[in-house]
Amino acid sequence: MNKAIETSYKGCRFRSRLEARWAVFFDEIGATWEYEPEGFVLSDGTKYLPDFFVRMNDMLSSHSGSGYWVEVKGTYPTHEEIKKMEMLVDGGMHHGYLAYGYPGANNMIPVWKNSSRKVSEEESAAMEILEGLSGFKKARKNMEDPVFNLLWSAVVTCCSETIGMSAIKKAVDVARSARFEFGESGARGAR
């Protein structure tokens, strides 16, 4: 089994480059994130440390401090990994997402409180904003669009401002091309 390469980005020591790439993506869309901010003991006694807490944009959230738990995996999550996220969100106040692979690969699994998929007030408000963005209606019709899940899932409600499809696609490109070797910081132009 291959071991992930620990990677530093913005003062955080990530357990893998993949996690660091997701942090770059969150930065590029203007999201506020925390890496491994808190560990939990789940209802079955399992200890769990989710990778990210991504804060929602206060303009779209009715509750200050709202956000999403995001767990990053290299491949499609196992049943056990999905179950852990379900227990985390059922026992807390926030929804969660299991992200697998690189940003932009139509690869986020939503895990909703009480294991039921309900549209929150925040997502409903975000959907109204999105309806006016160019390219969104096309993406909504085409569920295979690699940006759609990111857009609908956590991204839009966590952006610092309303952004369009091209900005999200740019953030995906920046995250995927981030370099961490030889003292590089991961983000374009930053050192």
- Domain edges within the chain: 15-177
Closest CA to 126 of 59, 178, 76: 59
Global pTM value: 0.75
The pLDDT profile of the chain, 191 residues, written as one tens digit per residue, is 678 889 999 999 999 999 999 999 999 888 889 999 999 999 999 999 999 999 876 555 455 567 889 999 999 999 999 999 999 998 887 888 888 998 876 677 778 766 444 445 555 555 555 455 444 444 444 444 444 444 444 565 666 666 666 777 888 889 989 988 755 666 554 43
Per-residue pLDDT at 83: 92
Q: Tokens 């071991």 appear where?
A: 3
Per-residue pLDDT at 182: 57
Per-residue pLDDT at 125: 55
Per-residue pLDDT at 87: 93
- Sequence-separated (6 or more) residues with CB below 8 Å from residue 110: 95, 96, 97, 117, 153
